[in-house]
Structure 1
Amino acid sequence: MYSQWQQGNLVRVDRTNKDGVYIKPQPLPGDPAERFNWDAPINVSAHDPKRIYFASQRVWRSDDRGDSWTPISKDLTQNKNRMHMPMMGRTWSVEAGWDLYAMSEFHTIANFAESPVDENILWVGTDDGIIQVTTDGGKSWKKIELDDIRGIPATAYVNDIRADLYDPNTVYVALDNHKYGDYKPYLIKSTNLGKKWTSLADDLPEKHLVWRIVQDHVNKDLMFIGTEFGIFFTVDGGKDWVELDGGMPTISTRDVKIQRRENDLVAGTFGRGIYILDDYAPLRQLTKKSMEQDALLFAPSRPVKWFQLDSNHTDSDGDDRYVAENPEHGATLTYYLKESLMTAKDKRKEAEKKLLDDEKYPKYPSWEAVEAELEELEPAVYLEIRDANGDIVNRVDGSTKKGLHRVTWEMDYALTTPVTKKDGSNSGFMALPGTYTATLFKREGAEVSQLADPVEFVLESIYPGALEGPSAQDIKAFQASLDKAQKRAMSSTAVLKQLESTMELLRVAISRTPSNVADLEAKYATIKREIHDVNNVLYGLEARNRKGAKPANVMSRLGYARSALWSSYGPTQQHKDQLGYASEGLAEVSARISALQQNAVPALQQSVVDQGGPWTTGLTVIAE
């Protein structure tokens, strides 16, 4: 690894033993002083990892990772006397308040590029308005002055220079003239080694001066730039630029890199922050033609990292250290909608906005039209996940707005236990490693239709265990049994809670019944005693809560069985045993609760009504 600090102080670090070797190039006797940029360019050759390039006012080459250096150019800058440059409208002499020590040198090479196609083609960009190119490895250099390029100021600073990854004659240059009060973005391209240049900045917003440009290693027309206020990408070689927001702040983005192995885009900001766009590969498939389709769906470009989240530890180390957010846990899929899914209300409001823009004014719609808007169901977009057998695993909601969107399936099954509240969790059992498909659907009104063809992806375990656990078949069988027990338990406890609420109403209703209520009171007491006994079987004696050790009960055994899900190992024999005991208890309890729900409680409610007392929730509606 190579690292540096200002004034060209370069170090090679051996990451195995952490040794740092100081390898700054040194001039020969009689050579002038080397002027290094504050961020002097350091490049490892794409043709030979032992070859590195470094630059001061001239280009240095090493073929032994910095142990020795050879200059391969003369001074490639304007090489003027900095002390004679006018400042504040005049030049200055010795007694002026000079303080250049903590500033970057001037007349330096600011950026350097080697063609990955032809090792002899090298590019240089300076801080004083010059581009230089050689096609013979540095034996001769061609000088290109920026004021000879139409639309480019002579004083521009070369922020970045990048040789095309595919064509040896093509180069991209990002320039910056903000030190002269000019915040216009400058981004130029040449396809003939600098003989002719075209601008790629015409589509960029004002003041978005360009700091960095990087080209995708798979799709030559996909490029990214870091600007003064964010990140943009193009899918047509720079004709049209689209801003990448998605959580990226409005901030000066000084560097943009591609992590090729992971297909990740990494951005470095002037606020000393790092932002990562995980798996940008779907952008490679975007073209003007493809985006004419109603929808597109893209699978992850690499196997999805399958692992069990550790929920047994705190999410924070306090102020001990900072840890950034990890990517979302699961399979992240990308989709594109050409148009938003709109309700009648949305369409009306959009039409009315156009009228107002034309200084025309809408009229109030009919009552029936407004009522139809109120009754209309909201449209939806969702991904349907299926396993290798074609069985539905889960559905994941997405955005209905036009544009690019990302959703993450958390590698779990849909939770099919009883729904007792609308905002409950939908996190079921974790899906096992293997092959899955995702299909994009939309729902408008009562009609469901497929938007895009299915895409396939793989969940791949990244942590093989030291011990061999149960087989995937055994795990699935245990999950099925546990799911059945949980459904029975949740329905039983939910109904029991409803019965307890009904009994509270019955207590009031019996008190208001205008007849002899002795028989009603006896039935009421019997039902209350049965509900209490069922609760004891499920949870144990309430009197023993928080009073030391408590004997196992149905719900505690079921809870232990659920702990098999805490790891990817699978259920042990003890998990299976406890699930068996819990299932036996649930069979008895659910039968007793069913008898209360279907017979005893409704019978008592009807008896209250028959004796002139109040109707209570749960009885059929009073029809006469």
Structure 2
Amino acid sequence: MEALQIEKGWGESPGRGSGAFRWNWSSPIVLSPHNPRTVFFGANYLFKTTDRGDSWYLISPDLSKNEYRKTIKESGGLTPDHNPGGGAEFFGTIITIAQSPVDSEVIWAGTDDGNVQITRDGGKTWSNVVDRITDLPHHDLWVSRIEASHFVRGRAYVSIDGHRSADFRPWIFKTEDFGQTWTKITSNIPSHHPIYVIKEDRINENLLFCGSEFALFYSIDQGSSWHRFNQNLPTVAVHDLVIHPRDPDIIIGTHGRGIWIRDDISGLQQMTQEISDSVGHLFENEIATRWLSIDPMGRGGTFAFIGENPTKNAVINYYLHPVVAGEESVTIKITDVTGNNTRSYTIEKPKPGIAKLIWDMRFDPPPPPPAEEGESERPRRGGRRRSGPPAGPGTYRVELTAMEEVFTGIIEVRQDPMLPPPFKVPN
């Protein structure tokens, strides 16, 4: 690890008449999606480096409101008596930065005193477009997050947090024209859920996530409607979200509950209104791997106390419409290319929504041989549970049957990539 005294590399200061730099308690540092050597750092001015932090230069004027009553300093330091909100914290600072993944010249910045700033020429000129957000009660609330779209140059999402001003309503807005017009998209998010973060999926432009004081929500229609992300996430303040750039995972940064990772959101990423209206659906699934596990002691040792890993088994994602909730069961069947080996699952009292089936990559065991005359057919106690043959590397057919409708898909299995071919799948 290299230590860097960054004070020496800040470049030209803004001048004596404009006042000192102001840094938020959580000053934003953002890596450019276009160049890993380019980083943005927010004070009340926006800094940029193109050499990984060896030198910095300004690309903006003071982007805050720079209100005297919020930035006053006495006796050379912070004074809680004069600083609204108290505590050792500056106000009038940048708290969120977003460079457009589509156009490197488009950069957004939001401040803790309500400004939404945008440049379309890499920082040469800036425009404050917060006054264009007409649905806000006033324009000095925290701009908690700006998310520049991965798909459309002029599209961006802005979340506003008013809980410091005793306004706990959720505020999320979308623009398609660089902030000239805004649409409120909080729709059915409950009141008293101030929003801290908004994220657009990297694969599906209609899929959004937002984190509030109490929960994580998702939308499959760009915010027209929202659903609470239940799963096993507790009631918790969600302060940050990251969509993994390689894997279909979402990383959730919480206040007081650590980091949560939701593995495999590929079902959500593939969700469309057409799928939502159908009785059922089988999604495209991640390739499953038959990992070779070697455990000579027969136990996991301390691994159980270190952290929980994703399942080693195959994961089949499927969707069921709410009309299926009244059914007794649905079935999922996995078949090899010969049709001789199958694995059948019956899901009793199915719940609507996106769900996962965990397949251990084995087929149903063959039926036991018929008992000879005079021999008891009652199974003997003890012994190992009968298991079917393993599924080797290949592609398998998956069938979901719900309300007499059949939906088909595939699941692919590969061998452990660390093993030299050919390697026989162990029984």
Q: Which protein is bigger by CA-based radius of gyration?
A: 1
Q: Structure 2: which amino acid aligns with 1:413?
A: F
Distance 1:94 1:216, change over 3 A: closer
Q: CA deviation at 1:146?
A: 5.1
Counterpart for residue 320 of structure 2:
337
Counterpart for residue 161 of structure 1:
146
* Aligned pair partner of 1:431 in 382, 386, 391: 391
Counterpart for residue 359 of structure 2:
409
Deviations 1:452-504 (A, max 9, x none): 12x112112334336x77x64xx6xxxxxxxxxxxxxxxxxxxxxxxxxxxxx
Q: CA deviation at 1:417?
A: 6.9
Paired residues of 1:159 and 1:175 also in contact (CA < 8 A): yes
Partners in 1 of 2:258 and 2:80 — Cα distance? 41
Partners in 1 of 2:139 and 2:169 — Cα distance? 14
* Aligned pair partner of 2:111 in 117, 126, 134: 126
Partners in 2 of 1:426 and 1:211 — Cα distance? 51
* Aligned pair partner of 1:304 in 264, 288, 304: 288
Partners in 2 of 1:61 and 1:281 — Cα distance? 35
Alignment of 1:42-61 (within 5 A): 42-61=29-48
Partners in 2 of 1:156 and 1:26 — Cα distance? 29
Counterpart for residue 451 of structure 1:
406
Q: Structure 2: which amino acid aligns with 1:451?
A: V
* Aligned pair partner of 2:347 in 398, 410, 432: 398
Q: CA deviation at 1:401?
A: 2.2
Distance 1:206 1:310, change over 3 A: farther
Q: Secondary structure at the match of 1:340?
A: helix
Partners in 2 of 1:330 and 1:173 — Cα distance? 39
Distance 1:67 1:94, change over 3 A: closer
Paired residues of 1:183 and 1:206 also in contact (CA < 8 A): yes
* Aligned pair partner of 2:186 in 187, 201, 205: 201
Deviations 1:33-62 (A, max 9, x none): 221112211122222222111110001111
* Aligned pair partner of 1:34 in 21, 28, 40: 21
Alignment of 1:269-308 (within 5 A): 269-300=254-285, 302-308=286-292
Counterpart for residue 150 of structure 1:
135
Structure 1: segments with no counterpart, 5+ residues? 1-17, 86-92, 344-378, 476-563, 566-624
Deviates more, 1:419-428 or 1:455-464: 419-428
Distance 1:398 1:278, change over 3 A: farther
Q: Structure 2: which amino acid aligns with 1:33?
A: A
* Aligned pair partner of 1:441 in 401, 412, 415: 401
Counterpart for residue 225 of structure 1:
210
Q: CA deviation at 1:313?
A: 4.2
* Aligned pair partner of 1:79 in 58, 63, 66: 66
CA RMSD of aligned residues (A): 3.1
Partners in 1 of 2:380 and 2:263 — Cα distance? 34
* Aligned pair partner of 1:465 in 416, 419, 425: 419
Distance 1:341 1:50, change over 3 A: closer
Counterpart for residue 371 of structure 2:
none
Q: Which has the higher helix share?
A: 1
Q: CA deviation at 1:428?
A: 3.8
Partners in 2 of 1:422 and 1:278 — Cα distance? 39
Alignment of 1:504-515 (within 5 A): none
Counterpart for residue 330 of structure 2:
381
Counterpart for residue 117 of structure 1:
102
Deviations 1:46-102 (A, max 9, x none): 2222211111000111111111111011111011234688xxxxxxx9895989996
Partners in 1 of 2:293 and 2:397 — Cα distance? 22
Q: Secondary structure at the match of 2:273?
A: coil
Q: CA deviation at 1:238?
A: 1.0
2:306 counterpart of 1:323: yes
What is the aligned-residue identity percentage?
29
Partners in 2 of 1:250 and 1:95 — Cα distance? 32
Partners in 2 of 1:119 and 1:62 — Cα distance? 14
Distance 1:206 1:96, change over 3 A: closer
Q: CA deviation at 1:168?
A: 1.3
Q: Which has the higher strand share?
A: 2
TM-score by length of 2: 0.85
Structure 2: segments with no counterpart, 5+ residues? 73-77, 369-377
Distance 1:100 1:204, change over 3 A: closer
Partners in 1 of 2:213 and 2:84 — Cα distance? 28
Q: CA deviation at 1:308?
A: 3.3
